Structure formats: structure tokens, C-alpha cells
Structure 1
């Protein structure tokens, strides 16, 4: 690390690189939807990067404060997964997303993400070619 780089910024290099690698591997397109599971440092940085690419982000976490913080990083929708409630059964009412209502509290007035337009890729999808200019978008 250069001596001129403040330690506060230097400490963000590793989580930022992980978040960016995860986003780049999914090859998101503007207008798509993405679900970010976990609103810790890496999840928040992934949310920030995805929204800068024009992706509609739904961020989910078990900690209400983290869910609220995700909005400040650009999440269009958030889900608070409530672990205090009994595990949902097939007979319980469901949210509009198809998730059992007992397990999720949705905190947005917008429509839920469309799973058909998700940025999720198959686990067998090859990672982007590092030599390709589009593999690592810049200037956003």
C-alpha cells in the first residue's frame, strides 16, 4: 500500500475486490434485478456497485439495522428475514414474491423483483475473461 493512502480507505480494498468480483462474475445488465443476501460490508459494496450499473437491487438480511442501511447504498427494495418467527409451513400465507409471509418482512412500496429477469447465473457459467475489457467495467 502506498504511504499516502489513508488506512480507512486501505481497509476497504479487500472487501471491495470481493464484492466487485462477485458482481462481475454475474455479468449484470442495466434494468435487471439482483438479490444480495447479507448487508454486511461486502453485501453493501456489491449493492453499491450493482446500482451504479443500473441494476434493481433487493437486499436481504436478518438484522433490521443492516437492512435499513442497505437503502443508503442504493437498494431499491429490502427484505428483513425474521429468525424469531417459527419456520414457515406450506400452509401459511405468502408474500407477493412467493416467500412465506412469516419469514420475510418486505420494506418497499415497489413491486418485487421479477425472478425471470434475475442476474443469477448458473454455477457452471464460466467467469468473465479477465482479458476482456467488459470483464472489469470502469468509469462508473
Structure 2
């Protein structure tokens, strides 16, 4: 039963993370400011918290799941999945720092809105995040079917 609970939580968290990234991408657009920046900062914090929970639950699956840790730790496809997750995390750092900077500026100046160029750069980074994120379920599906063993 523990394996099922961990698997369900892991999948729900991954779907939540994808949804949060999609919402962030929708909110980061030219003219974003004011209350939208506050919402964006809250969503970004939720994105980070969800990523942390994914790591915790994923570690639970590795060490307490039915397949046993060797299934994961000895599988290069698992490590490709982990690498993709780490790259997504690294790609998310710049947007997070920028969103926090924008939020601080908007708090000081209610009329603040980031430049079109800044918004475009952050959207590109988020697009790269999404593209690498798409690799995670691909690697997971391959691993579940025995690839890499």
C-alpha cells in the first residue's frame, strides 16, 4: 500500500508542478505588474515547494517502494530523469530571482512593470524549463518499461 500511496503522490505532484509552470508562463507577459506580480511570486513559491515535495516523495519511492532502490540507483534512465529534474531546477533559478526582484520593485513603486525585454528573456527561460520538464515523464515511462536495466 505504501508503494501505491507514494506513486500517486509523486504523480500528482509532478502534474501540479507542470500546472504551476504553465500558470507562471501565462502570467509572465508584457505589462505584468501590481497584483499579478504578487500572484506570480506566490505561484513561484508554490512551484519551489512542489519541487521539494517531489524530491522527498521520490526519495521515498526509491528507498521504500516495492521495486527497491537497486531498480532506480543502477538504472541510467533514472539518472537521466534526475538530471532533467536538476536542469529544470537550475533553469528556474533565474526566473525566480527575477520575479522576486520585480515583486520588490512593484512594492516600492505601484506603477512598476518589467520591460518587454525582461519579460521576453524570462519567458524564454521558462520555455526551456518546460521543454526539459517534458523529458521527465518520457524517462519515467521508459524506466517503468524496463529500459536502462
Name the larger-Rg structure: 2
Pick the structure with more helix per residue.
2
TM superposition score normalised by structure 1:
0.30
TM superposition score normalised by structure 2:
0.29
Q: Which has the higher contact order (CA 8 A, sep 6+)?
A: 2
